Structure 1
Amino acid sequence: MIEIKLSQGAKPGHGGILPAKKVDAEIAATRGVPEGEDCISPASHSAFTTPVEMMHFIQQLRELSGGKPVGFKLCIGHPWEFVAIAKAMLHTHILPDFIVVDGKEGGTGAAPLELSNYMGMPLREGLLFVHNTLVGCGLRDKIKVGASGKIISAFDIASVLVLGPTG
Structure 2
Amino acid sequence: MSWQKDYQYGTLLLLPPPQVMQIVNSLRQQYDPQSHKICVAHITLTQPLIKEISTDELNLIEKIISQFSQFEIQYGPISNLSQTCIIFQIAPKKVILTLREKLHQTGFFNLNLPFTEGFIPHMTVSEMGIANNDSVIRKLNQKFPVSTYHQEAVTLMKPNHQFVFKTVRNFNLKR
- Using structure 1 for the length normalisation, give the TM-score: 0.27
Task: Compare relative contact order (CA 8 Å, sep 6+) and give the higher one, 1 or 2.
Answer: 2
Q: Decide which structure has greater strand share.
A: 2
- Using structure 2 for the length normalisation, give the TM-score: 0.26
